[in-house]
């Protein structure tokens, strides 16, 4: 069993979906840790209910990003974490964490990248009036939603869609796709190392 950490800053619905998928399907990994940079994140509540160890500390309590990430790496080592799935973690990953887990950190984003990177991708898509948007899972590099793309799934935007209804459709796809892709990557060890090094 591969040992995976999920990082979340907010609601944590993807975190919960990944944990449930591990419990209900025969996947080759387990979620051993939830990390959040926000003490008020609802994801922490979910972790408690799901019986998953959760830790939180804020970069505000550290002199710089490096020392914040050093603490994260220590935590990851304590839990023997091999792979990190960002799920609504609202921070750029810095060089310290990236070097330590190079090619082993992925993210999920609610648009078809490279369209609509950054904050509120769903709002951006609605504002632009696109008829198709979707979900992207990609490797994390030092940029904002810029790493090599691993998987994408399209979602149609209907004329009647609001931010809320579109988000619902997108999250439904996310919750199915994310555990599936993590599992697929972790079944072929060499795949993610090679893929990430092309960046």
Under rule CB under 6 A, residue 103 binds ligand GRF: no
Residue 9 contacts by C-beta under 8 Å, 6 or more apart in sequence?
A: 36, 37, 38, 41, 43, 88, 89, 90, 91
> Where does residue 32 fall: left (phi above 0), alpha (psi -120 to 50 degrees), or beta otherwise?
alpha
Catalytic residue flag (residue 163): no
Question: Among residues 109, 138, 175, 191, which one is catalytic?
Answer: 109
> Shortest Cβ distance from residue 181 to ligand GRF (Å)?
13
Q: Which residues, 172 to 191, sit near ligand GRF by CB under 6 A?
A: 174
Residue 31 contacts by C-beta under 8 Å, 6 or more apart in sequence?
A: 4, 5, 6, 15, 18, 19, 22, 52
Residue 101's Cα: distance from chain center in Å? 14
Nearer to ligand GRF, 6 or 186 (CB): 6
Under rule CB under 6 A, residue 85 binds ligand GRF: no
> Shortest Cβ distance from residue 156 to ligand GRF (Å)?
17
Size of the site for ligand GRF (CB under 6 A): 14
Under rule CB under 6 A, residue 8 binds ligand GRF: yes
What does the binding site for ligand GRF look like in residue numbers (CB under 6 A)? 8, 10-15, 87-88, 108-110, 171, 174
């Amino acid at each position: 069993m591969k040992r995976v950490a999920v990082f979340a800053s907010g609601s944590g619905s993807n975190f919960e979906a990944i944990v449930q998928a591990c419990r209900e399907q025969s996947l080759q990994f387990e979620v051993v840790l939830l990390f959040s940079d926000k003490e008020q994140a609802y994801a922490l509540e979910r972790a408690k209910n799901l019986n998953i160890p959760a830790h939180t500390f804020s970069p505000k309590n550290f002199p710089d990003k490096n020392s914040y990430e050093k603490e994260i790496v220590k935590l990851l080592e304590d839990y023997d974490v091999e792979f990190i799935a960002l799920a609504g973690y609202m921070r750029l990953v810095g060089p310290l964490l990236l070097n330590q887990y190079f090619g082993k950190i992925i993210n999920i984003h609610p648009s078809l990248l490279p369209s609509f990177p950054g904050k509120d991708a769903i709002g951006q898509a609605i504002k632009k009036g696109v008829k198709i948007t979707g979900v992207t899972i990609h490797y994390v590099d030092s940029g904002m939603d810029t790493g090599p793309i691993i998987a994408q799934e399209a979602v149609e935007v209907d004329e009647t869609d609001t931010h809320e209804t579109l988000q619902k459709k997108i999250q439904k796809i996310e919750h199915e796709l994310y555990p599936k892709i993590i599992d697929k990557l972790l079944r072929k060890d060499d795949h993610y190392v090679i893929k990430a090094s092309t960046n």
